[in-house]
Structure 1
Amino acid sequence: MASKNSSTFSVLGSDLAITGNIKASADLHIDGNVEGDIACTSLVQGETSKVIGAVEAESARLAGTVEGSISARELVILKSAKITGDVFYDALTIEQGAQVEGRFAHRDPKKNAPSAGNPIPEGKAKPELQLAN
């Protein structure tokens, strides 16, 4: 029996182009193009997808293009990903071959985590990365 709190899964296919912000309490899979900010519980981005805007999620698995800042508790950047923007994370995995133009900053759980729209204070970026093959 499914509980009331069971999560749903939404898919935006490769034939979709959306202009506007997306806010979802569900898990989201995007293969199309989005021009706007995305806030969701879990984001999976396909290789052909392009997002122009900030991404905020509990967990994100990115394989396409993102032009904007990213804030996620658990972030996986796959080798096909092309990221342009600052990255805020609690746990980070980057596959060899991924392209990232921006700064990385570990979110401080003791303070309010910076939102994807806030810049990283100077000297706070951490170069430590976990690379996956």
Structure 2
Amino acid sequence: MFNQKSKSENQVEQKPSAPSGQATIIAAGTTLKGDINSSGDIRIDGNLEGNIHCSAKVVIGSNGSVTGDIGGAQADIMGRVTGTIRVKELLQLKGGSQVQGNLHAAKLQIEPTANFNGQCHMTGSERPAGTATSNGLADKKTEKLAAQA
């Protein structure tokens, strides 16, 4: 009876987890060294020296800088990236962005003032027979048909 704590005092308060719709943000003025793994969206407005592994969308803001590889479902690049970018869906290089490295994406959109230096590999989409590959050569089937004609 005496000196007994009530049930509410013995219970640990449970804090709700972050909603799944929120993004992880590395703010301007922040420098992070190391890899980031996330199942939610990521936005980099600061500097990251490391790789990003994300199953959602990656956004590199206009003041953001990444030295490392980026992998995600989608990506919008407005800042600087030095490394390989692998995106399952749409990759957008926005105006003023600077990318030094190879791109792998199903869909690619590059605005006129974006700066890209590297190789581009389109993945996840089949090309019609007889169309040129990324190295400018027609596929072997088309070459055989042309030789027979």
The TM tier, using the shorter chain, reads: 0.7 to 0.9
More relative contact order, 1 or 2 (CA 8 Å, 6+ apart): 1
Calculate the TM-score normalised by the size of structure 2: 0.69
Shift in CA distance, 126/31, structure 1 to aligned 2, threshold 3 Å: farther
Q: CA RMSD in A?
A: 2.3
Q: CA deviation at 1:10?
A: 1.3
Asked if the contact 2:20/2:40 (under 8 Å) is kept, the reply is no
Q: CA deviation at 1:126?
A: 6.4
- Aligned equivalent of 1:87: 103
- Name the aligned partner's letter for residue 21 of structure 1: D
- Aligned equivalent of 1:75: 91
What do residues 25-73 of structure 1 show as CA deviations (whole Å, max 9, x unaligned)? 1111110000000011111111111100000010100000000000112
More helix by share: 2
- Name the aligned partner's letter for residue 88 of structure 1: H
- Between the aligned partners of 1:6 and 1:30, the Cα distance in structure 2 is 18
What do residues 64-108 of structure 1 show as CA deviations (whole Å, max 9, x unaligned)? 000000011210100111000000000111100111010001113
Q: What SS is found at the alignment partner of 1:18? A: strand
Aligned-pair identity (%)? 26
Q: What SS is found at the alignment partner of 1:88? A: strand
- Aligned equivalent of 2:13: none
- Between the aligned partners of 1:21 and 1:39, the Cα distance in structure 2 is 8
Asked if the contact 1:86/1:102 (under 8 Å) is kept, the reply is yes
Asked if the contact 1:104/1:126 (under 8 Å) is kept, the reply is no
Unpaired segments ≥5 residues, structure 1 = 111-122, 128-133
**Following superposition of structure 1 onto structure 2, how do residues 1-133 of structure 1 map, counting pairs within 5 Å?**
6-40=20-54, 41-72=56-87, 73-108=89-124, 125=134
More strand by share: 1
- Between the aligned partners of 2:135 and 2:46, the Cα distance in structure 1 is 31
| Larger of the two Rg values belongs to structure | 2
* Number of residues of Structure 1 aligned to a counterpart in Structure 2: 112
- Between the aligned partners of 1:106 and 1:126, the Cα distance in structure 2 is 12
